[in-house]
């Protein structure tokens, strides 16, 4: 696989974002409606401030089991420490990141701006295309 092939070549540039103050059940609905497992959380200035994953959403159900109510904001459940990847990273280096980490997807930044999402599936697609 060529080192010249970049994350930007295989990332999904269609990114559904959430806001920290969004009601959590609305956010869960957004993930389900868009058939996605996670979404970056951005503030009013468009800055990446977190990520909400399916795992975070399961915490909503667990919390409701203890407190007998669903609710709260995305900010109450999102992960604030977000691992990102640069759009100019080689797809080989991205594959190494996936291999060494538990993450299934990374928000992609270009000069600090959110421009896409890279999933394990995207890296597998790159491997399949580049092997021909």
7-130 in CATH: which number? Answer: 3.10.580.10
Q: 78: Cβ–Cβ under 8 A, 6 or more apart, which residues?
A: 18, 20, 41, 49, 50, 51, 52, 56
pLDDT of residue 111 exceeding 60, the answer is yes
Give the position of tokens 């407190």.
Answer: 67
Indicate the SS3 state at residue 37: coil
What is the arithmetic mean of pLDDT over 10-29? 94
Structure confidence by residue, pLDDT tens digits, 21-35: 999 989 999 999 999
**Tens digit of pLDDT for each residue in 68-98?**
666 789 999 999 999 999 999 999 999 999 9
pTM: 0.84
Residue spans of the domains in the chain: they are: 7-130
Is 49 or 71 the better-scoring residue by pLDDT? Answer: 49
């Amino acid at each position: 696989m060529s080192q010249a092939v970049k994350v930007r070549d295989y990332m999904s540039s269609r990114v559904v974002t959430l806001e920290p103050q969004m009601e959590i059940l609305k956010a869960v609905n957004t993930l389900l409606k868009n058939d996605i497992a996670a979404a970056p959380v951005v503030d009013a200035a468009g800055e990446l401030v977190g990520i909400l994953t399916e795992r975070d959403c399961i915490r909503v159900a667990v919390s409701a089991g203890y407190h007998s109510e669903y609710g709260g904001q995305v900010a109450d459940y999102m992960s604030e420490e977000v691992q990102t990847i640069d759009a100019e990273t080689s797809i080989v280096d991205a594959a190494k990141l996936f291999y060494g980490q538990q993450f299934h997807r990374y928000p992609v930044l270009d000069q600090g701006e959110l421009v896409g999402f890279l999933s394990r599936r995207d890296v597998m697609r790159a491997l399949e295309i580049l092997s021909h």
